[in-house]
Amino acid sequence: MGVTSRAATLALVVATTAAHAEPMQVVVVKRAGVMSYEEVAEEFGERCRVRARVVSLGDDGLRGLRFGVDDVVVTVGQEALDAVRGSRARVIPTLAFFAPEGLVGPPASPHPELILKVLAVARGAKIRTVGVVYGPRTAGVIAHATKAAERLGLTLVASPVKSGPEAVRALHTLADKVDALWLPGDSDVVTTQVFQYALRLQLERGLPLAAATRQQVHSGALVAADFSPRAAGRIAADLANRYLDGHTTGESPEIDLFSGARVTVNAVVARRMRADVEALMRMGARFE
């Protein structure tokens, strides 16, 4: 082999080795300006062992951005997850209620038994039936919730709907049949108008409203059970670090995907509705 051939071969080996030595790309995809999303990104950035690239969704979404099979993409919120659907990358979803089967990440909401138990504790014997509206993609959650309600001695009156206007009509019908209302994290049908109508029923009919997020409690719902955004960022970073180390999610039993659940209570609404404050405090609820 001549000098030129040997040099060409060496250059090819060096280039190939360098290509394989390059670290995988770690990207955080989110909508800018949402406080909870920013908290996820900040916590992830502090705990991930490599510097992550942050991409904000705009009018063009992720146009022109391509992910490889070895890249790690952390999505924050449902919109971000939908934007990378079909990607070849290893996707870690956070704060998304509708994650495809097979993706692993911090859960968007605690098991429905928690929020139903909070409602039961808040109002005691005054609550026997809980009304809920939900869309097609939440059917599995409602199935679990129905069994959880039975264990707690409650009856879940569930109304499947396909749109926000239909959800409003269903809430109107449920108002005469139930003792409390629950709006799960179903962005398909639980629109701003649906939430506002549920708040109206809470005020005018005295129906306690259990919501999906702490922000909704700040807007007037009695209670909510959710996960801290920073807890989600921490879990996502733990998973990303394992990917970077060459592990799979099946090899990470030490990562607790269900840690960080919190219960938030609207203190003003709780006093007005004469909720059992002491019992809620014993559960670890935070009054705001």
Listed residue (279, 238, 273) closest to 43, CA to CA: 238
pLDDT digits (tens, 9 = 90+) for 48-58: 999 999 999 87
Q: Where are the domains of the chain?
A: 3-106+229-259, 112-227+262-287
19 vs 96, residue with greater confidence = 96
pLDDT-based confidence at 179, cuts 50/70/90? very high
How many Cα atoms sit within 13 Å of 135 on the Cβ side? 17
261-265 vs 223-227, strand pairing mode: antiparallel
Lowest mean pLDDT of 13-27, 129-143, 162-176, name the range.
Answer: 13-27
Rounded Cα distance between 92 and 74, Å, is 5
- Specify the DSSP element, H or E, that contains 261: strand 261-265
CB 147 within 8 A of CB 174: no
Residue 129 burial by Cβ neighbours in a 10 Å radius (0-12, 13-18, 19+): middle
To which residue do tokens 């992830």 refer? 44
Listed residue (257, 278, 232, 280) closest to 81, CA to CA: 232
CB 226 within 8 A of CB 214: yes
With b for 16 or more beta-carbon neighbours within 10 A and e for fewer, the 32-70 pattern comes to: eebebbbbbbebbeebbeeebebbebeeeebeeeebeee
* Tokens standing for residue 96: 């998304």
Other Cβ atoms within 10 Å of 160 Cβ, number: 16
- Same fold for the pair 3-106+229-259 and 112-227+262-287: yes
How high is the pLDDT of residue 2?
47
Assessment of whether the complete model's pTM goes beyond 0.75 = yes
How high is the pLDDT of residue 249?
57
Q: Hey, what CATH topology would domain 3-106+229-259 get?
A: Rossmann fold (3.40.50)
Query: Which of these CATH numbers, 3.90.550.10, 3.40.50.300, 3.40.640.10, 3.40.50.2300, describes 112-227+262-287?
Result: 3.40.50.2300
Q: What is the DSSP letter of 251?
A: G
* Tokens standing for residue 164: 């926000």
| Beta-bridge partners for 279 | none
Other Cβ atoms within 10 Å of 105 Cβ, number: 21
pLDDT-based confidence at 66, cuts 50/70/90? confident
**DSSP string over 81-150:** HHHTTT-SSEEEEES-S-PPTT-----SS--HHHHHHHHHHHHGGG-SEEEEEE-GGGHHHHHHHHHHHH
22 vs 245, residue with greater confidence = 245
